[in-house]
Structure 1
Amino acid sequence: MLTPLQKYLVEKITLSEEELLLIDSVSILKKIRKKQFLFEAGEVWKYNAFVCRGLVKTFSVDKNGKEHIINFSPENYWFGDRDSLTNNTPSKFNIDAIEDSEIILIKKEDFEMLCHKIPSLNNLVNTILQKSFVVSQKRIHDSISLAAEEKYQNFLDSHPSLINRIPQHMIGAYLGITPETITRIRRNSNK
């Protein structure tokens, strides 16, 4: 029986039984409860992480205690702090669970070994990083260019499976708009 990570990978690339066992041998399963922190700002992020089940968020908190959500990561998503991982610097971000979640963690050095020994995995990682960069550029552009209604509609269009899993105030913290604005947008769209 394949793990969720193995199933995800074999849908994307061809892997031998030995390669699957190698991946499994360096995979650490971590279960976190709803509202439990996986990681806190100030620590150095040392993993490549994959969501097997559940939903996590990556966020920062400003000096006034306001939450700014950088990313939502549901099942079959990779997540983490790329800057902290790459540069071995303290992270600005926290990661916690929106739902009870199961995460696979692979230490940086183990992940690098996997990418070296499994070229198809390395190619997949490069493809994912390129897509992530494009998504980040679009998100930055949208956040500085679009009206609140357009940001919210883009979120609905991009993440239809998440809309009922994420509280309204968190969607607002992700989009940079208040929950009251989301309520107004929803009310106006129902007219």
Structure 2
Amino acid sequence: MNAPVTVAWTGASGLAYGVRLVDVLLEAGVGVDLLRSSTIAQTAAAEMDRPLDAVVSEFRERGMREFGSANFSAPVASGSAPSGGMVVCPCSMSTLARIATGTGETLLHRAADVCLKERRRLILVPRETPLATHHLEHMASLSRQGAVILPAMPGFYHKPRDIDDLIDFIVQRICDQL
């Protein structure tokens, strides 16, 4: 059995990418451990047509596990637990900075830190624009530490017909990196 992939949703805009990623992973039979930041509910209310809890409930029925932000006994908090890597999608700049500097306070930050220290795949999907110099410096630092920085910048050469095509473009790139 393959180790589960940890997917973390932060309060950054672009939750549709993270929701579609979980859907695709579950469709492929990949285990998913979900982590959510405290600000995701606000983003979901602004960006989604369905209540976030309904989406999460549906994913749980399909086998996804979820761990609370203060649950430091969760498997994702330990380097000894099997892991298929971690994707933070969307990744807010504050989350990216905390991961880059090792100043995390939540399970999400700890799980990312474990990926870095264990040399596991860590993919961060920032959606912010424009970027300040300190954002770029944090991204460069994370890249040097072994993380993959995969901005939510879809291509257009595949002639997307709708927003779902753009979302799927990014999700496929994420899956290619896993």
The TM-score with structure 2 as length reference comes to 0.33
Bigger radius of gyration among the two: 1
